[in-house]
Amino acid sequence: MGNSFGNLFRIHTYGESHGKALGVIIDGCPAGLLIDEAFIQSELDRRKPGQSKITTQRKEADEFEIVSGVFEGKSTGTPISIIIRNQDQKSKDYSHIADKFRPSHADYTFHTKYGIRDYRGGGRSSARETVARVAAGAVAKLFLKHHGISFHAYVSQVGHLKLDKDYTQLDLTKIEDNILRCPDPEMADKMIELIDQTRKNRDTIGGIVTGVIQGVPAGLGEPVFDKLHAEIGKAMLSINAVKGFEYGSGFEGVKLNGSEHNDEFYMDNNLVKTRTNYSGGIQGGISNGQDIYFNVAFKPVATIMTDQESINEAGDRVTVEGKGRHDPCVVSRAVPIVEAMAALVIADYLLISETNRI
């Protein structure tokens, strides 16, 4: 149950950080979709480890193999299975925590829930699991491209350094121009310097990824429990290290009066538009045709390179050594993950919308 996501466009992921492989089964992808494998690989490359000095130095090519659901380059309508094999796992790096609970990790909660845990890199709780989501999200993007829907995510904050510009003031084509994936070059340099200094201090730092979905038609979403923004929120909060989600005006909206916050409608060449977009493209849980934008907050990575006090499975006081290869800040690699999860939600709701009318 906890390893599946979606309704009609549904995925099921499997695998562990230090297991033989990770993968995803995609069910509900319409038949006849051209599966661009080069595009899928490019999306995985954006997420893979070892990209730069501000990411973990684990080396994984993250090359994938499609083992079902595609024939002669097109989806067949049957489940698509994609597998990504692990190549550079160093399980011995984790032998020192075989019976210890790392602070702010899932070690204790997994042990409590299951009575057993894979301590090698966190097993199923590792962020490496997201490689399967990005593969599935790439297929969703290929599907949504035919509907004119596009996705952009970028780093808008690292620690105290915040990009105080609305996404409409930025050139989103420049997101991939630097290793941080921040479209403002000057701010990107400052953020990269902060992350690198944090790494040298053997510590970690958090940040925010901003997501933008454009071209979404009006009418996607359900009006009560399955509101579109609720599902996007669930998707984002399911990503490792995420501690917060807001869309539209978010928490800043409380500073405005209703007269300032309301988005007035007008007609533009027979298209319904709004003069402002504090709603974030969603009203009553249903898309209104305007851009959907949101922020996702990522905590500082729990694994730090200094010793910490904790307990072991017997309840004894122990010291957890700072060892292994880890990201000093996850936001640069989280960008494609945020896009992938957003794409999975929109693909799912686009298919659901086709069942709402005769």
DSSP 1-60: -TTEE-SSSEEEEEE-TTSSEEEEEEE-PPTT-B--HHHHHHHHHHH-S-SSTTS-----
Distance, in Å, from the CA atom of 130 to the CA atom of 142, rounded to the nearest integer, reads 18
Asked if residue 353 belongs to a known ligand binding site, the reply is no
Kindly state the helix (H) or strand (E) to which residue 190 belongs, with its residue range: helix 185-200
Helix (H/G/I), strand (E/B), else coil: 187: helix
150 in the Ramachandran plot: left (φ > 0), alpha (ψ -120 to 50) or beta? beta
Contacts of 70 (CB under 8 A, 6+ apart): 35, 76, 80
- Token pair listed for 193: 């310097």
Distance, in Å, from the CA atom of 50 to the CA atom of 179, rounded to the nearest integer, reads 11
Asked if residue 126 belongs to a known ligand binding site, the reply is yes
The type of residue at 157 is: Q
Q: How many CB atoms lie within 10 A of CB 116?
A: 9
Asked if residue 303 belongs to a known ligand binding site, the reply is yes
Asked if residue 113 belongs to a known ligand binding site, the reply is no
224 in the Ramachandran plot: left (φ > 0), alpha (ψ -120 to 50) or beta? alpha
Asked if residue 241 belongs to a known ligand binding site, the reply is yes
Asked if residue 31 belongs to a known ligand binding site, the reply is no
Asked if residue 240 belongs to a known ligand binding site, the reply is yes
- Token pair listed for 279: 């709603």
DSSP 286-350: EE-SSPEEEEEEEPPPS--SS-EEEEBTTS-EEEE---S---S--HHHHHHHHHHHHHHHHHHHH
As beta bridge partners, residue 214 has 150
Residues listed for the chain: 358
Asked if residue 302 belongs to a known ligand binding site, the reply is yes
Asked if residue 7 belongs to a known ligand binding site, the reply is no
Asked if residue 259 belongs to a known ligand binding site, the reply is no
Known binding-site positions = 47, 53, 124-126, 240-241, 284, 299-303, 325
Known binding-site positions for FMN = 124-126, 240-241, 284, 299-303, 325
Known binding-site positions for NADP(+) = 47, 53
